[in-house]
Amino acid sequence: MGNWVENEGLSIFVTLVWLGLNVFLFWWYYLVYDVPPKFFYTRALLGRALALARAPAACLNFNCMLILLPVCRNLLSFLRGSSACCSTRIRRQLDRNLTFHKMVAWMIALHTAIHTIAHLFNVEWSVQARVEEKGTLAAVLSSLGDNPNESYVNFYRKTIGNPVGGLYVAFTYLAGLTGVIITLALILIITSSTKTIRRSYFEVFWYTHHLFVIFFIGLVIHGAGRIVRGQTAESLAEHDPEICYKNFTHWGKQGACPIPQFSGNPPMTWKWVVGPMFLYLCERLVRFWRSQQKVVITKVVIHPFKTIELQMMKKGFKMEVGQYIFVKCPAVSKLEWHPFTLTSAPEEDYFSIHVRIVGDWTEGLFNACGCDKQEFQEAWKLPKIAVDGPFGTASEDVFSYETVMLVGAGIGVTPFASVLKSVWYKYCHDATNLKLKKVHVLFLIIHVIVQGLTILTKTGPAPHYRKDIEFLEHVQKRAVNLATHFIVHHEEEKDVITGLKQKTLYGRPNWENEFKTIAGQHPGSRIGVFLCGPESLADTLNKQSISNSEADPRGVHFIFNKENF
């Protein structure tokens, strides 16, 4: 229970607060439009759909205020750096920014659906009230504004019946037109953000996601038409709707209630979103400025399985282990930016990324760098590269623990290459100030797990570091083609892949055994578990981290962290 609180407690608390605020705003604004006399006649015209439309609108404002903040990457990196003296729990929440971003997006979709459906009923009833027979309260209310010195409550001023009236509202009124645009943009953004689209058609996801600009423009001006109208304060002082509605046919006559006056609600959305929009604008300006700085490709290395390594230099570039950058290659696409984990160490005089060729953009980069040619490529022929970043990730916290587990799946091993290199440099420079004592690396590739690799940062001789770093690349080169050979020679004293005593294992890993073994080796320790891999593996490791941690605060505790960008 104690480790569940440490791993998930703050995240659950933040989620519950966010959900609670949504519930509170919905209920509060529902009552604002369903109870006070200000909207008595509006409710008489529209019924409960009025409150059901306005309550989710308030929640939409709240969530649209939040949706941009988790993708302000420079802001998050700054907060991550400035909170370095604080608990790792706080920094771990910043690493879940995209998870929160998705949750907020789904909440926006939910409230948009409620808001839209409720307003469809509102439009229907507003149009019908204009063609309703005289003598009813709805007809009298709808006729207000037809004569001089009257203000209207029914925004629909035509006398055209359905279905033409509804279409007329949707495409001629500002609220209707912007509502259609906002909803279409939201549908496209959400549907193109599914995992299948992101992985197989990243360009579709990238370009469609930028419809958020249209979404926010439409959102801000959506309420400018002021179609939701309530009785003015001056009118309420002399016309009590709860009394006067009984004699609505005599309004304005001598001795009767005066004709009620109405005004539209001023637009409020801009007050909710102007702050985040300003922060996001600053974010984009910073990213644009950094992307204009010159980047020089110093070396291109072709690795097996269509993977290339780009080594680059940029003036003033500073990084930490495990961070990532966004890369744009104008020769491939002038607009697309793609994220890549840095595989170099902060101590090196260059920074590097490894790119696996899995799509059109990476294929274009592969060809632009001349990797499809056999002859040597001159440096001046290499394409121009724009770099934005670096941005912080969970791997930065590796050095906050004495013992860590690094789990990489396939290309997900890249951030840990940076970690291992940095461990080596720190050990050589000043091992006495290095808090990290042991690193367990578990590398999965096509059902192959390499386990038991332990780096002794205090006592191990320097050559071990070189072997361990080279080990990662060596496995990637030969694991597939030589798998059968490895199994045949598995009983030999040294591993056939690495030449080390640690053995390569085959098949699916038994995570329960892995965690229990490491827990037994480090009693009473806080062990950081770091993953760069798929969500299914993340769920498994998170559960294992919780179940294999002891309730005693002095016992072993696994703290789960996942790369997320």
Give tens-digit pLDDT for 402-438: 888 888 776 667 777 788 888 888 777 776 677 778 8
pLDDT at 184: 94
**b/e for 270-283, b at 16 or more Cβ within 10 A?**
eebbeebbeebeeb
362-372 pLDDT per residue, tens = 888 888 888 77
Give yes or no for a cis peptide into 390 (omega within 30° of 0): yes
Identify the CA nearest to 411 among candidates 540, 308, 530.
308
Question: DSSP label at 258?
Answer: P
Q: Where are the beta strands (DSSP E) in 358-476?
A: 386-391, 403-409, 438-445, 448-456
Residue 539's Cβ-count burial label (10 Å; 0-12, 13-18, 19+) is: exposed
- 4 versus 311: the higher-pLDDT residue is 311
- Model confidence at 502, pLDDT cuts 50, 70, 90, reads low
Question: DSSP label at 260?
Answer: P
pLDDT at 19: 95
Q: What is the pTM of this model?
A: 0.77
- Model confidence at 31, pLDDT cuts 50, 70, 90, reads very high
Q: Is the pLDDT of residue 465 over 80?
A: no
Answer yes or no: are the C-beta atoms of 382 and 369 closer than 8 Å.
Answer: yes
Q: If phi over 0 gives left and psi between -120 and 50 gives alpha, with beta otherwise, what is residue 426?
A: alpha
Q: Find the angle CA(371)-CA(372)-CA(378) to the nearest 5 degrees.
A: 50
Answer yes or no: are the C-beta atoms of 66 and 25 closer than 8 Å.
Answer: no
Identify the CA nearest to 526 among candidates 461, 436, 410.
436
Residues in the chain: 565
Structure-block tokens of residue 405:
């587990």
Q: What is the mean pLDDT of residues 347-358?
A: 86
Q: What is the mean pLDDT of residues 28-46?
A: 91
Report all structural domains of the chain as residue ranges with CATH numbers, in order of start: 18-173+225-284 (no CATH), 294-391 (2.40.30.10), 394-562 (3.40.50.80)
pLDDT at 347: 85
HEC string for 117-134: HHHHHHHHHHHHHHCCCC
Structure-block tokens of residue 14:
């933040």
Q: Is the pLDDT of residue 186 over 90?
A: yes
β-strand pairing of 295-303 with 262-264: unpaired
C-alpha–C-alpha distance, residues 428 and 19, integer Å: 49
Q: What is the mean pLDDT of residues 243-251?
A: 85
- DSSP per-residue letters across 139-174: HHHHHTTSSTT---S-S------TTHHHHHHHHHSH
Structure-block tokens of residue 402:
């004495």
Q: Is the pLDDT of residue 26 over 90?
A: yes
pLDDT at 367: 85
C-alpha–C-alpha distance, residues 327 and 55, integer Å: 42
Question: DSSP label at 459?
Answer: T
Lowest model confidence (mean pLDDT) among 43-52, 99-108, 328-337, 458-467 = 458-467
Identify the CA nearest to 302 among candidates 199, 386, 374, 409.
374
153-173 pLDDT per residue, tens = 888 877 665 566 666 777 788
The residue whose two tokens read 């929640």 is 59
Beta bridge partners of 134: none
- Model confidence at 457, pLDDT cuts 50, 70, 90, reads very low
Residue 105 to residues 130, 187, 193, 280, 283: CA-CA distances in angstroms?
37, 11, 10, 17, 20
Answer yes or no: are the C-beta atoms of 390 and 425 closer than 8 Å.
Answer: no
Question: Which 3 state secondary structure label does DSSP give 177?
Answer: helix
Question: Which 3 state secondary structure label does DSSP give 155?
Answer: coil
Q: Return the H-helix or E-strand segment holding 108.
A: helix 97-130
φ/ψ of residue 326, rounded to 5: -100, 140
Answer yes or no: are the C-beta atoms of 71 and 277 closer than 8 Å.
Answer: no
Structure-block tokens of residue 303:
């690795």
396-407 pLDDT per residue, tens = 778 888 888 888
Task: Note the Cα 321 to chain centre separation in Å.
Answer: 22
Give yes or no for a cis peptide into 163 (omega within 30° of 0): yes
C-alpha–C-alpha distance, residues 223 and 266, integer Å: 7
% of the chain surpassing 90 pLDDT = 18
